[in-house]
């Protein structure tokens, strides 16, 4: 299954009440030059910048 959620949508998952792990893969996309909130939990750094997926 795949779930796509717009960044402005408030969302969460309920507590996992089973013994099985919930494996997730998170992929964030932002436009180059977008203003990234300093309050966001994930931040690009010089050591670990967000990679480009294509170039013009």
Amino acid 51: pLDDT: 84
Alpha helices by DSSP H, the chain: none
Cβ(33)–Cβ(27) below 8 Å:
no
Amino acid 19: pLDDT: 96
pLDDT in tens, 1-56: 888 888 789 988 899 999 999 888 888 787 878 888 889 888 888 998 888 888 77
CB-neighbour burial class of residue 47 (10 A; exposed 0-12, middle 13-18, buried 19+): exposed
Closest by Cα among 24, 19, 22 to 2:
24
Closest by Cα among 54, 11, 48 to 29:
54
CB atoms within 10 A of CB 22: 7
């Amino acid at each position: 299954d795949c779930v796509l959620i717009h960044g402005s949508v408030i969302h969460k998952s309920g507590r996992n009440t089973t013994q099985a792990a919930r494996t997730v893969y998170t992929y964030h996309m932002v436009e180059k030059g977008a203003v990234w909130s300093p309050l966001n939990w994930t931040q690009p750094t010089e050591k670990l910048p967000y990679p480009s997926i294509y170039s013009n």
